[in-house]
Amino acid sequence: MIQQLIDKITKLNAPIVVGLDPMLNYVPEHVKEAAYEEYGATLEGAAEAIWQFNKAIVDQVYDLIPAVKPQIAMYEQFGIPGMIAFKKTVDYCKEKGLIVIGDIKRGDIGSTSAAYAAGHLGRVQVGINTFQGFGEDFATVNPYLGSDGVKPFIDVCKTEDKGLFILVKTSNPSSGEFQDQLVDQTPLYELVGRRVAQWAEDCMDGTYSNIGAVVGATYPEMGRVLRKIMPKSYILVPGYGAQGGKAEDLIPYFNEDGLGAIVNSSRGIIAAYKQEKYAGFGAGHFGEASRQAVIDMKEDIMSALVRGNVVSAADR
Amino acid sequence: MIQQLIDKITKLNAPIVVGLDPMLNYVPEHVKEAAYEEYGATLEGAAEAIWQFNKAIVDQVYDLIPAVKPQIAMYEQFGIPGMIAFKKTVDYCKEKGLIVIGDIKRGDIGSTSAAYAAGHLGRVQVGINTFQGFGEDFATVNPYLGSDGVKPFIDVCKTEDKGLFILVKTSNPSSGEFQDQLVDQTPLYELVGRRVAQWAEDCMDGTYSNIGAVVGATYPEMGRVLRKIMPKSYILVPGYGAQGGKAEDLIPYFNEDGLGAIVNSSRGIIAAYKQEKYAGFGAGHFGEASRQAVIDMKEDIMSALVRGNVVSAADR
């Protein structure tokens, strides 16, 4: 699965992923009004609003990007109708040829992790039939419970050619509270990174592994260290843009082959129309604003990578 | 909310919770057949089977226990139909007067954690209306992302009188891989426990806090230490029974007031009819087998607590 992602990134010259994290206050009034008119101001109405919002954005950006990363919490908050909107979003993105990274941050033990893995990346058996529950291509996973929690996900990645991004160092201000604690002079996130590197060796797909890591853009020095510790793992980098990460900060997350990282932006893309820079589009053209924001993000990142000698100008 | 749980535990003399983690292979054939006849061997059929299985067990045990703990992964694996079965289970258990601990192990940052908290414990606003997404009373939370990830859950607990059990030391064999790492001679799980104690102080409900912890029955020495570190936190103890934890092992998890812990059993109760001990009930009476297993679990734990001087014989 990682090879499919790399092929798309290379073809599009776009190591980026759009986070489909639709807060209701990102959704333009006219979209909400139409949804509430049909379903009322209900959970069903909210779910319809975020689905129509997503669809309009995906229609505008799918040809520019390799992947999307829907954040399941933003759907789950609306209960069952929200989960249906999540599933519709996953299905629609796959129809459009996008790779779908389910930002689910699940993690449990044994048969419970196996159930999450089956539901999101694999199949469940019912009688003699098998079914996909949600059908993402990658999932984010929380490693706090250790190997027992991660292995069932890796097993499914092997049988179904799917992938993981395991939380190593997250982008939030308090991520250091536990992740940075020193164990024999080594921060915990490095220990987790080393474990990810071992898991990665066991699940290769071409030159990279299906087992990747999450390392926030807001900690580039740690990104530099983790890049070396996990040479075969793709790094999913949140925190660019709205959370404060700059394009220059992204350089250490890439390998010398110009690969190895994929940068996420959520609010900066899907709520672009709310920024002064894109206000000219107006709420009526929020999808076009997102498209322009993707073009600008790609330009911002690729030119930083050229300046940083990560990719050559000729390759762009 | 913790006070409501304590009142029920005291009234029923039962510091126990039944884990509603319905693997399809726990469900008796006749229940599956009836479900598949109505919905086919489909995700809908599987969801109907686990819902009917749950309902029959709840009908048999609801008068003996204070709470249930549905493990959402076991529902989520069946996609949308599975999530509907989860919601039906939560609603039904609440109708029956049970407290519902959503074993969801969610954890993310900022607005994303807030979305999980709203969806599972609080309310979401849609237009001028508010709705509950899933409506559990407690949720389990993963702390790896630090305070940013936990605080939004605590905020909802305060406004809605709900509660949390934060993962501190899990019951699985590899839980030590990260949780036991020594930071200045202190294991990470203790650091997390100290943080839980701080969060707990800030969210009291009577003599205990709405912010509890998960500490596995399989590590009683660690349980003893964590009990002292988090005096105001209820400890949810998984790992009793099928995972190897014995009733004697549970003593250190309780405070001198005879309170402070609630012990989970999942497979040992819901799949009791498959054990030799309860084989006499037969698959046709799996609910009655679960009832007997609850009675036996309660007796096993309460007599260990009397032997350990945690509760007096007169109090039983």
d(CA A148, CA B243): 13
Range of the domain at A126: 2-307
pLDDT over 80 (residue B313): no
pLDDT (mean) for A23-34:
97
Positive or negative: CA dihedral B177, B178, B184, B185: negative
Nearest to A292 by CA among A314, A270, A311, A308: A270
Looking at chain A, which residue has its C-alpha nearest residue B128? A41
Q: Is residue B53 part of a domain?
A: yes
Domain at B252, CATH number: 3.20.20.70
pLDDT at A257: 93
Looking at chain B, which residue has its C-alpha nearest residue A166? B144
Q: Which residue is catalytic, options B105, B158, B274, B277?
A: B105
CA dihedral B137, B142, B146, B152 (to 10 degrees): -20
Cβ atoms B74, B53 nearer than 8 A: no
Q: Which of B69, B83, B87 to mutate to test the interface with A (most CBs of A within 10 A)?
A: B83
Q: Is residue B299 part of a domain?
A: yes
pLDDT at A295: 98
pLDDT (mean) for B187-202:
96
d(CA A186, CA A52): 46
Closest in B127, B173, B181 to A36, CB measured: B127
Average pLDDT across chain A, whole number: 96
Q: Is residue A314 part of a domain?
A: no
d(CA B162, CA B156): 7
Is the CB of residue A79 less than 8 Å away from at least one CB of chain B? yes
Q: At what angle do helices A29-39 and A43-61 cross, to 10 degrees?
A: 140
pLDDT (mean) for A229-239:
96
Q: Is residue A313 part of a domain?
A: no
pLDDT at A309: 85
Is the CB of A177 less than 8 angstroms away from the CB of B195? yes
Q: Which residues in chain B have Cβ-Cβ distances shorter than 8 Å to A74?
A: 112, 115
Is the CB of A170 less than 8 angstroms away from the CB of B109? yes
Q: Is residue B39 part of a domain?
A: yes
Predicted confidence (pLDDT) per residue in B240-294, tens digit: 987 777 899 999 999 999 999 999 999 999 999 999 999 999 999 999 999 999 9
- Read off the tokens for A204: 């290769």
pLDDT at A93: 98
pLDDT over 90 (residue A312): no
pLDDT (mean) for B80-91:
98
Q: Is residue B190 part of a domain?
A: yes
Is the CB of residue A90 less than 8 Å away from at least one CB of chain B? no
pLDDT at B315: 66
pLDDT at B166: 97
Q: Which residues in chain A have Cβ-Cβ distances shorter than 8 Å to B24?
A: 124-126
Please say if B88 is a catalytic residue: no
Predicted confidence (pLDDT) per residue in A273-292, tens digit: 999 999 999 999 999 999 99
Q: Which residues in chain A have Cβ-Cβ distances shorter than 8 Å to B126?
A: 24, 36, 41-43, 45-46, 78
Is the CB of A79 less than 8 angstroms away from the CB of B182? no
pLDDT over 90 (residue A245): no
Q: What is the phi/psi pair of residue A164, to 5°?
A: -130, 155
Q: Is residue B316 part of a domain?
A: no
Is the CB of residue B19 less than 8 Å away from at least one CB of chain A? no
Is the CB of A188 less than 8 angstroms away from the CB of B188? yes
Predicted confidence (pLDDT) per residue in B214-228, tens digit: 999 999 999 999 999
pLDDT at B245: 79
Is the CB of B147 less than 8 angstroms away from the CB of A87? no
Predicted confidence (pLDDT) per residue in B292-303, tens digit: 999 999 999 999
pLDDT over 70 (residue A315): no
Binned at pLDDT 50, 70 and 90, residue A313 comes out as confident
Number of domains in chain B: 1
Q: What is the DSSP string of A43-105?
A: HHHHHHHHHHHHHHHHHHHTTT-SEE--BTHHHHTTHHHHHHHHHHHHHHHHHTT-EEEEEEE
pLDDT (mean) for B84-111:
97
Q: Which of B74, B84, B145 to mutate to test the interface with A (most CBs of A within 10 A)?
A: B145
Is the CB of A41 less than 8 angstroms away from the CB of B129? yes
pLDDT (mean) for B25-40:
98
pLDDT at A16: 98
pLDDT over 70 (residue B309): yes
Is the CB of residue A126 less than 8 Å away from at least one CB of chain B? yes
How many of the other CB atoms lie within 10 Å of CB of A35?
Answer: 24
Closest in A46, A106, A127 to B41, CB measured: A127
3-state SS class at A284: helix
pLDDT (mean) for B139-147:
95
Closest in A42, A133, A147 to B76, CB measured: A133
Cβ atoms B178, A194 nearer than 8 A: no
pLDDT (mean) for B70-97:
98
Predicted confidence (pLDDT) per residue in A177-207, tens digit: 999 999 999 999 999 999 999 999 999 999 9
Q: How many CB pairs under 8 A join A and B?
A: 224
Sole residue written with tokens 């237009």: B127
Is the CB of B41 less than 8 angstroms away from the CB of A115? no
